Structure 1
Amino acid sequence: MTALLHGPSGTGKTLAAEVLAGALGLDLWSVDLSALVSKYIGETEKNLRAAFEAAEASGAVLLFDEADALFGRRSEVKDSHDRYANQQASYLLQRMESFRGLAVLTTNFREAIDNAFLRRLRFVIGFPHPGPAERERLWRGAFPPAAPVGALDFARLAQANLAGGHIRNIALAAAFLAAEDGTPIGMAHLLRAARRECAKLERPLTPAEVAGWL
């Protein structure tokens, strides 16, 4: 059983894989691509074989996060590097088809996944960017009941076009800012945290998104 979860960053793809494994009562093994991919011929395939065999033996869910790095489109063969990369992809295709467990792939770029892989995936599920109603629910769920929050306007917060992962980061950063000030978490803390988060994303918060926050 194989599934591809695709969508923008922060929309919950990895979290969904964790929830799926938890619902099935199985361990989730996240493949470390930096440790798996090797520059030495044959080593990547050897590492892949070990990962698949271990997952089959244990019954764990196998997670390939940022899967486009491994399952990307094959290229035209121009030199030995291209030939080796395509051989690696062909091995992965065969191993995915014979895999007897549950594998989940996540990517921000569905179009980067090779079509041959897409044909072999049982489920391809899109994770859209949340709309205002979903964002308001995410903001309401971002603070645990015991969190020292002030008067927060969740409808105003939901104006900012942010995904769930970014909302979580902002809520946590705002909690630290409030603790530093010795006050409950307020809209001013969230505005500062949101600007920092958007600076990381290299996009500004527009006036319309933060209208009424202060």
Structure 2
Amino acid sequence: MTRPSRLILVTGTGTEVGKTWVTAALSRRLRAFGIEVAARKPAQSFTPGETATDAAVLGEATDTPADTVCPPHRWYPVPLAPPMAADTLQLAPILLDDLVAELDWPAGVAIGFVEGAGGLCSPIAHDGDTLSLAQRVRPDLVLLVTEPVLGVVSQVRLAARALTGYEVLVVLNRYDPSDEVHRRSRDWLTAIDALAVLTNHDLADTVDSDAAWRAISGEPPSASNP
């Protein structure tokens, strides 16, 4: 597998937490600074007739065809985890080895995003989940996307423990600074659990922040960056 200079795995504490939105927002922002970005979705499942699939959204954000982001034979039009969708459609089992082998990156990619399916331990293949995928591709950074609802501290802690040994950046999506639960959850994760945390409000300014830039790109911004 050709590897980008920096490989970032995107996962979540569950489904529908905004992984694709976060990945697309970061991709657009990084590309605006002239950074070569690519995104890959090893397998996607979706509601039949849906056009704004994860691959389509990521493709738009990175100026890449959707069928390059996710190979067409890994599109499963059933709203279930990919291996369950494949079973429903009576298609061949999805094997983790095959998903890893199909990750294809163009030359010169500085930052490559790989987006999993559902939560960290949601099945992405018949023989593995996104945690298994992380163990195979060894990302430089894991983005853990979640929502700052009641119970998020427990959800993030469980996922972070499973990701021991990886650099983890938590993204609180749909964050409302006026909501006490949101605010206190963020403060706890940063002050008590010592986790690196961004919110969706930070994403537009991510590359203007030295700390966030280092987490995403692996290096500080140059003085020439706007």
TM-score (norm 1): 0.36
> Going by fraction, where is strand more abundant, 1 or 2?
2
Greater per-residue helix proportion: 1
TM-score (norm 2): 0.35
